Structure 1
Amino acid sequence: MKSFNPLSKLLIVTFCLFSQIPQLVYSQALDAKIDSLLETAFSPEGPGAVFLVAKAGKPIYRKAFGKANLELNVPMAPGNVFEIGSMTKQFTAVSILMLVDQGKLRLNDEITNFIPDYPTRGKSITVHHLLTHTSGIKSFTSMKALRTIERGDLTPPELIDFFNNEPMDFDPGEEFKYNNSGYVILGHIIEILSGQSYAEFVKEHIFTKLEMNSSQYASHSQVIENRAYGYHRKDKYVNKNYVSLSLPYASGSLMSTVDDMLKWNEAIKNNTLVKEATKNKAFENYTLKNGEKINYGYGWHITTLNDAVSFEHGGSIFGFKSMGVYLPEEDIYVVGLSNCDCNSPTELARDIAELAMGN
């Protein structure tokens, strides 16, 4: 057997070491650029945020900034749990698509198939319209009377009764108008078809299956390990306002971490929960009746970043803001979670995604 030249072995090892230097330098440069953005945005003494950047499903940046709790002077940690607001809509949309795969509904089914007494005023309002914010139903979060119910715990039918008699904003399919009422109705449809509460359905069929062990339906009373507390900013920081979590419901009541959100994004990418053809429906840029694109699919905005396709969604709920950006062509995912509704991670997440593309 021919012996291996020690000099050759040394050259190979040396080559391998030097070949890794450019990647290491690029990684350090990216870290420094992201650090600079986030250290400017989040004071060490104020409420903070956690950001994660992943490439091909692997984290390449994961850091926390600011405080998780101002009163106890607790620093933010990468594993902190946040309310994610309207990023909940992704989970609701995919839950509906799971039921589609199970043959329990079709996207062109009218909502009266499930809620026979819903007052549609003779209009055909479909599940598709609810998913795409094109139903014309009044969004309950725009109603002045919301203050009269915001602290009450309502059942989904009671919440639907709160807005269902409001005049419609437009005929179904004629306009795009972001609408929380539509996702409340979708949550109720999930409950009707599954025989489970929305919280139970998402826990069993998504969180448990994907081992998203730090994610759940939000709770004010439950002791939640690693919870970041939420704040507002007026003249100074104040504790978040109280609102019953039965109101945001399937449009905005979930909690998660950046690590769990990466698991979620990977599951969507890899068709873990629904068939690929079904998943693709969530990322189609739908159109109105007049052919105008709405730049929205099912639970995701469909847009571009530096001419690259970008699937995005943010969230805002009392005391918290969130943002997720996925660039499928680059396989880059950026998620930012903040514990003050004064600090939006939206533009930061897009800027960081742009930096990661350039790297």
Structure 2
Amino acid sequence: MIDDYIQDMMNKNQIPGLSVAVVQGGEPVLAKGYGLANLEHSVPATEKTVYEIASVGKTFTATVTMMLVKEGLISLNDRITNYLDNSPSAWQSVTVKHILSHQSGIPSYTDAPNYWDLTRLDLSKAEILALVADLPLKFKPGEFSAYDNTGYYLLGLMLEKVTGQSYGDLLHKRIFTPLAMNATMMNNPRDIVPHRAAGYRLVNNKLVKKPYYSPSVTYSAGGQISNVQDMVKWELALLHGTLLSQSTLDDMWTPHPPNYGDDWEKLRYVAGLGWQVINYDNRRVVGHNGSILGFASNITRFIDDKITVIVFCNLDKITRPDTIAFKIAGYYCPALAKLEQMPPI
């Protein structure tokens, strides 16, 4: 039945390939691919297919940040400018916690008017930040919420400065190697990556290959690649508190609302620390979507229902991969199938 849903949904949305994993009660119950990872060579998608996971990777950035917080190397109340060179005066009151919970007020560089003209260029980090460095804050830090990529880009710079390691090396040392996530790494389109999926777009209702998208514009805001097989290992580490204590994880998965706004009631979600916390009638639910040229991704953790769904696909038209995850969860947990799907995360 679940296969029928997935195949029908893929046909309706013209998704070339999709991989899904489900962990229920601490046990993997599904890890499977559907459709094609590469249309030109008719390569089937499997649980080993590697996708660009975009902003799902923010959960990795947040995790390493919290590791350093627990080790006393940084504080959530530290100003991000303590770790930056030549930072704008407007950012002086922005803290690490403001960034983790998307309350910094710093404009997202991905909203810059010329951003899409620059995505094919291998820009320096300074050139990326220059897109927003001269702009005023959207609001006083902590007053409201606004999803932004700039803050998570800055967290990568902070992590490098504090540890003296590159962001990619730090992820491998702290997360990927300990968990044997051997297919998970920073994306470099030039690398030969086993089982790498091709990314696709729909243009005039026709599938075309995605254009080059420089990894310089993703970095710590979502520049990783992975497969659902590895993400099951990630989920089990979260479930068992392997990398962070349960109390720290609980703090990350608790709503951290801004001083103003009614996101919890109106939008039905509010940021935690590195995760979006979703308002599902007193259930604890956290997740994160990812979207980038050619790909869409999601992880949703229905904590109280003890089920997690991971969905990766190679079509960027899918703006609500969390909807797919929610539907899949309902096949394994009938109580979830009765709930109304929440608005976008």
**TM-score (norm: length of structure 1):** 0.86
Match of 2:3 among 31, 35, 46: 35
Does the 8 Å contact 1:306/1:354 carry over to 2? no
Cα 1:122–1:53 shift into 2, 3 Å: closer
- 1:46, 1:353 → 2: CA distance? 20
What whole-Å deviation, never above 9, does each CA across 1:213-248 have from its counterpart, x for those lacking one?
111101101000011110001121000121111111
Q: Secondary structure at the match of 2:94?
A: coil
Q: Secondary structure at the match of 1:295?
A: strand
Q: Tell me, yes or no, if structure 1 residue 244 matches structure 2 residue 220.
A: no
How much does 1:42 deviate? 1.6
Q: Which deviates more, 43-52 or 160-169? A: 43-52
After superposition, residues 177-326 of structure 1 pair within 5 angstroms as 177-235=146-204, 236-290=206-260, 292=262, 293=264, 295-305=270-280, 307-326=282-301
- 2:78, 2:301 → 1: CA distance? 30
How much does 1:152 deviate? 2.2
After superposition, residues 127-138 of structure 1 pair within 5 angstroms as 127-138=96-107
After superposition, residues 1-359 of structure 1 pair within 5 angstroms as 32=1, 34-43=2-11, 47-115=16-84, 117-121=86-90, 124-235=93-204, 236-290=206-260, 292=262, 293=264, 295-305=270-280, 307-343=282-318, 344-358=320-334
What whole-Å deviation, never above 9, does each CA across 1:27-53 have from its counterpart, x for those lacking one?
xxxxx2x11210101249951101111
How much does 1:63 deviate? 2.2
- 2:81, 2:321 → 1: CA distance? 38
Structure label with greater radius of gyration: 1
How much does 1:284 deviate? 1.4
- Percent of matched pairs sharing the same residue: 34
Q: Which deviates more, 238-247 or 305-314? A: 305-314
Q: Secondary structure at the match of 1:144?
A: coil
Cα 1:60–1:304 shift into 2, 3 Å: farther
Paired amino acid for 2:170: F
Does the 8 Å contact 1:325/1:353 carry over to 2? no
What whole-Å deviation, never above 9, does each CA across 1:299-341 have from its counterpart, x for those lacking one?
2111144652211111001100001111111211101100111
Q: Which deviates more, 109-118 or 242-251? A: 109-118
Does the 8 Å contact 1:51/1:334 carry over to 2? yes
Cα-Cα RMSD: 1.9
Unaligned runs of 5+ in 2: 336-345
Does the 8 Å contact 2:15/2:313 carry over to 1? no
Q: Secondary structure at the match of 1:329?
A: coil
- 1:218, 1:122 → 2: CA distance? 29
- 1:308, 1:275 → 2: CA distance? 21
Where does structure 1 differ by over 4 angstroms across 4 or more consecutive aligned residues?
Answer: 291-294
Q: How many residues end up aligned between the 2 structures?
A: 327
What whole-Å deviation, never above 9, does each CA across 1:11-41 have from its counterpart, x for those lacking one?
xxxxxxxxxxxxxxxxxxxxx2x11210101
Q: Which deviates more, 108-117 or 198-207? A: 108-117
Unaligned runs of 5+ in 1: 1-31
What whole-Å deviation, never above 9, does each CA across 1:267-306 have from its counterpart, x for those lacking one?
1222211233322221110121248556110121111446
Q: Secondary structure at the match of 1:211?
A: coil
- 1:342, 1:122 → 2: CA distance? 34
Paired amino acid for 2:212: Y
**TM-score (norm: length of structure 2):** 0.90
Q: Secondary structure at the match of 1:117?
A: coil
- 1:84, 1:322 → 2: CA distance? 6
Q: Secondary structure at the match of 1:41?
A: helix
